[in-house]
Amino acid sequence: AAGAASPPPPTEPPPTHPAVAPLAFLLGKWRGEGEGSFPTISSFRYGEELLSSHHPSKPVISYTQKTWKAASGEPMHAESGYWRPRPDGSVDVVIAQSTGLAKVQKGSYDAEKKTVALQSELVGNASKVKQITRTFQVADGELSYVVQMATITTSLQPHLKALLNRI
Ligand code: HEM
């Protein structure tokens, strides 16, 4: 009918829930490569795909990632969970890992710098892992992260770093 609002053009991004808006820089599908290491293991290279999505009616981001051996494509670690950004700049994250670990992480985000920093509150079903920290940053359209880990034998050290691009 005359005067009715026309639908948005298809190029316009879908609306974002206000709680999720400060983390909108993370949303989308990303793909790239990373490098893993730890004092107790041989270093390795991996491919990764990461998907962060949300529905505008919910204040939560659904997160899922999978990795594979860079050389052969054979599947490696995978995990998925939910991120709940809070208006005070904190974020609550729960993650289930393909290795059987469950993690609750807490952290903070900076919408201007496009960074998120997480520390583990709780690691369940882990015989070795004591602590996990992660930092994510989006700069020049690229998503980079660093994961550090402490185990029963080793203090907090880098385990993973990766660089992903939007696909
Ligand atoms: C080794 C935890 C993510 C690949 C390990 C070890 C732990 C661990 C506890 C054994 C270290 C030791 O024995 O001293 C975690 C945690 C992760 C994570 C908590 C996520 C936060 C990943 C990812 C990959 C990966 C994403 C692959 C892309 C490996 C490999 C080893 C290893 C290849 C060495 C071989 C092995 O012992 O199975 N990780 N890891 N990890 N991790 Fe991870």
Over the stretch 38-91, which tens digit does the pLDDT of each residue have?
999 999 999 999 999 999 999 999 999 999 999 999 999 999 999 999 999 999
pLDDT category of residue 15 using cuts at 50, 70 and 90: confident
pTM for this structure? 0.91
> d(Cα 83, Cα 88) in Å, to the nearest integer?
14
Is any atom of ligand 1 closer than 6 Å to the C-beta of 50? no
Q: For residue 50, give the nearest of 79, 73, 71, 25 by alpha carbon.
A: 79
Q: Which phi and psi (to 5°) does residue 26 adopt? A: -90, -15
Distances 87 to 19, 20, 61, 121 between C-alpha atoms, Å? 7, 9, 14, 20
Residue 1 in this model has a pLDDT that exceeds 80: no
Is any atom of ligand 1 closer than 6 Å to the C-beta of 152? no
Residue 160 CA to ligand 1 centre (angstroms)? 9
